[in-house]
Amino acid sequence: MKWTVFLTICSLIWAAHGLIRIPLKKVRSVRSLLRASGVLKEFMRDHQTDVFSRRYAQCFPAGTPSLRLLDHTRVKLHNYMDAQFYGQISLGTPGQNFTVIFDTGSADLWVPSSYCVSQACANHQQFKAFDSHSFAHDGRTFGINYGSGHLLGVMGRETLKVGDLTVKEQEFGESVYEPGQAFVLAQFDGVLGLAYPSLAEIVGKPVFDSMMTQKLVEKPVFSFYLSRRQTMDPEGELIIGGTDEALFSGPINWIPVSHKGYWQIKMESIAVQGIASFCPRGCQAIIDTGTSLIAGPTNDILKLQELIGAVPTSIGEYLIDCARLTSLPHVTFILGGVEYTLQSQNYVRKEVLGGRELCFSGFVAMDLMSQQGPLWILGDVFLTEYYSIFDRGQDRVGLARARHQADYSNQLAINHTIYP
């Protein structure tokens, strides 16, 4: 089961050294909202895959490409209940604002259309093509198969603003049908994908490819900082065009992309309390800002849940005794010869439901296959601890220890672009 986390551009703080900094806001995940609303049990009974696992589904109708969708720009991220990041973009002339997920696990851009017939669209901003002087109708349709039904829409071209970058004639999708309660509850309007073009379902260039083609960025790099808590400043940032050494410590470990679709890399092994337990001969992993948890093959995840003392519930969730957190084992991922260790406070998600504090496992089962074998997905549970860098110029992913600090504002004076 896949649970996604969505990133959006909220506002531009400043640009320096050719970087664009975009703040990101963190909000409750759809999974958490479904749980709190009391509909998670029914949802999980009816759908064996997350409603947001569109990247891994067959497109609909058959023959249409899938929806996944920044250079030197920064986007600030805002954190709400340690679950889901979002921000803001603008489409059209004059601009119409939308909150979107900046998703490295997909490659397309879509937002709700004013012609949408679903309840979900009524709860979100809708694109009004007739109000824009720069809109061009595309004529094609697109579809994505979700666990709760098919998201359907039409395609167009429009002026897109991300921070202070303006992308001309960007292909994007207008959704006209968004099924399921999950879309209704989601605190984002759409998705902006940042994966490779081969993952795109909308024919044409994904947003970052358009930025590179239109020479809006100096370096073909973007990077993410995700905070642990909402009280942190910044809550999160997307940096387009490079990195910021104020947001991480230690050296950057560069890992080659093993397949250009997702940001897919080789993972040597996974150890629990220092003992190799999974992927003894190596496996493949996806670095995915659009997934809130860490996902892996069902058999491995079931064993991992046992090792950390997580027990299943009637709604498919895994709970951990909050009183035992300090005694839980650490989980280590070996990537590019470097150990990336998560303590229990990193992989356990705390929530208050009905006045009671509950501790949920940050691991979830999802069977996703590739030509190289089963895939693991390293989502925000992992990425809140490690600053991530996505380099299209050299087809590699960089990871470094995230520098979490209570007051980030004093660090702005020492921002630097790091691009070896």
Cβ atoms of residues 398 and 336 within 8 Å: no
Quickly state the pLDDT bin for 28 (edges 50, 70, 90).
low
In a domain, 122, yes or no: yes
Reported as a pLDDT band with limits 50, 70 and 90, residue 42 is very low
What is the pLDDT at residue 128?
A: 96
Q: Residue 179: what pLDDT?
A: 77
What string of DSSP letters covers 294-361? EEE-HHHHHHHHHHTT-EE-TTS-EEE-GGGGGGSPPEEEEETTEEEEE-HHHHEEEEEETTEEEEEE
pLDDT at 81 over 60: no
* Among 143-147, 161-165, 414-418, the range of highest mean pLDDT: 161-165
**Which residue type sits at 400?**
A
Residue 157 and residue 259 in one domain: no
Q: Range of 368's domain?
A: 248-414
CATH classification at residue 302: 2.40.70.10
What pLDDT shows up at residue 78? 34
Same domain? For 40 and 120 the reply is yes
pLDDT, the chain, mean: 78
Do 149 and 195 fall into the same domain? yes
Residue 288 designated active-site: yes
Q: Residue 362 and residue 294: Cα distance in Å, rounded?
A: 6
Task: Please check whether residue 6 lies inside any domain of the structure.
Answer: no
- pLDDT tier, 396 (very low <50, low <70, confident <90, very high otherwise): very high
Query: Out of 7-11, 197-201, 211-215, 393-397, which region has the weakest mean confidence (pLDDT)?
Result: 7-11
Per-residue pLDDT tens over the stretch 183-209: 777 778 988 999 999 988 776 799 999
Query: Which of 71, 82, 103, 189 is flagged as catalytic?
Result: 103
pLDDT at 15: 37
Rounded to whole angstroms, the Cα distance separating 377 from 409 reads 32
Residue 5 is predicted with a pLDDT of 32
pLDDT of residue 10 exceeding 60, the answer is no
Higher pLDDT, 11 or 36: 36
The arithmetic mean of pLDDT across residues 338-367, rounded, is 90
Q: Angle at CA 187, nearest 5°, toward 122 and 142?
A: 65
- Tokens 């929806």 label which residue? 67
Is 327 among the domain residues?
yes
Looking at the structure, do residues 300 and 208 belong to the same domain, yes or no? Answer: no
For residue 406, being part of any structural domain is answered with yes
* pLDDT tens string 238-258: 999 999 999 999 899 999 999
Q: Which of 9-13, 120-124, 279-283, 397-401 has the highest mean pLDDT?
A: 397-401
- Choosing from 82, 138, 288, 380, the catalytic residue is 288
Claim to verify: residue 187 and residue 285 sit in the same structural domain: no
Q: Are residues 41 and 186 in the same domain?
A: yes
Confidence label for 117 from pLDDT (cuts 50, 70 and 90): confident
Chain centroid to CA 216: 23
pTM over 0.95: no
Judge whether 402 lies within some domain: yes
Pairing, β 283-287 against β 373-378: parallel
Share of the chain above pLDDT 90, in %: 50
**Whether residue 204 is found in the same domain as residue 340:** no
Mean of pLDDT values over 106-110: 89
Amino acid, single-letter form, for residue 226: L
d(CA 159, CA 171) in angstroms, rounded, equals: 9
Task: Report the candidate in 229, 212, 113, 99 with the shortest Cα–Cα distance to residue 165.
Answer: 212
**Domain for residue 220, yes or no?**
no
Task: Check if 209 is active-site.
Answer: no
Q: Worst-scoring range by mean pLDDT, 25-34, 165-174, 260-269, 380-389?
A: 25-34
405: confidence class by pLDDT, cuts 50, 70, 90:
low
40 vs 24: CA distance, rounded Å:
27
pLDDT band at 73 (very low <50, low <70, confident <90, very high): low
Q: How many domains would you assign to the chain?
A: 2
Instruction: Report, as an integer, the average pLDDT of 63-81.
Output: 37
Instruction: Count CB neighbours of 48 within 10 A.
Output: 11
User: Does 10 reside within a domain?
Assistant: no
Task: Taking residues 385-413, report their average pLDDT.
Answer: 80
pLDDT at 101 over 90: no
Rounded Cα distance between 227 and 237, Å, is 9
> Six-digit token pair at 196?
């490779």
Helix H or strand E segment including 271 = strand 263-272
Q: Are residues 127 and 262 in the same domain?
A: no
pLDDT single digits (tens) 269-308? 999 998 878 998 899 999 999 888 999 999 999 999 999 9
Specify which of 75-79, 137-141, 145-149 reaches the highest per-range mean pLDDT: 137-141
pLDDT of residue 338: 97
Q: 299-338 pLDDT, tens per residue?
A: 999 999 999 999 998 777 899 999 999 999 999 999 999 9
Same structural domain for residues 51 and 163? yes
